[in-house]
Amino acid sequence: MSETAERRDLWRAAAFGLWEVFFFAGMFPEAAFRLLRAAGAVLPQRALINSPYMLTIGLAGYFAAFAYHQCRRQGLTPGKSADMTLQYAVVAVVAFLPVDFWGVLHVAGNALIQNKATIYISTAAKLVGWVYLSVLVCRYYLGNENVFVTMPSLFPSTRRYHG
């Protein structure tokens, strides 16, 4: 019994480590995209996909699929799981969008930029979403199996299931 539990803990630790790699790539998708392109020795002129937004979409889609699977494992119906997953997908897209953090630090001193508030708000939304999702995954791997079904609902279609 303890050997099975120990093996399970090793797999959980490895999976958590892989999630951390995903989250690091999601925090800096442009750098991760360039790193992957360089590791594959793909020239930008020959690349089939030449945008870090595909990494954003891929990471958000994977997170949404994982969240859907966890909601189903906790007994939610396919419809309820899909509603919860929609919420996670929206947060994940925002959390994994490319942001030039160095550029954001220099926005205040640039008189030509008209929409400084939009830049600050979108950067803050990315950081809040990223932290929220990473804490969610941390809680899941620390043993809270139902963490994906306890998210407060923002969409009216999911409120009727949890209210």
Angle between helices 2-27 and 116-141 (to 10 degrees): 170
Cα distance between residue 137 and residue 147, in whole Å = 9
Enumerate the domain spans of the chain: 2-162
What is the predicted pLDDT for the residue at 2?
53
Question: What pLDDT, in 10s, does the model give residues 63-102?
Answer: 999 999 999 999 988 888 888 899 999 999 999 999 888 8
- One DSSP character per residue, 102-114 reads HHHHTSTT-TT-S
Residue in 91, 87, 88 with CA at minimum distance from that of residue 129: 91
Alpha-carbon distance values, 12 to 8, 18, 52, 102 (Å):
6, 10, 29, 34
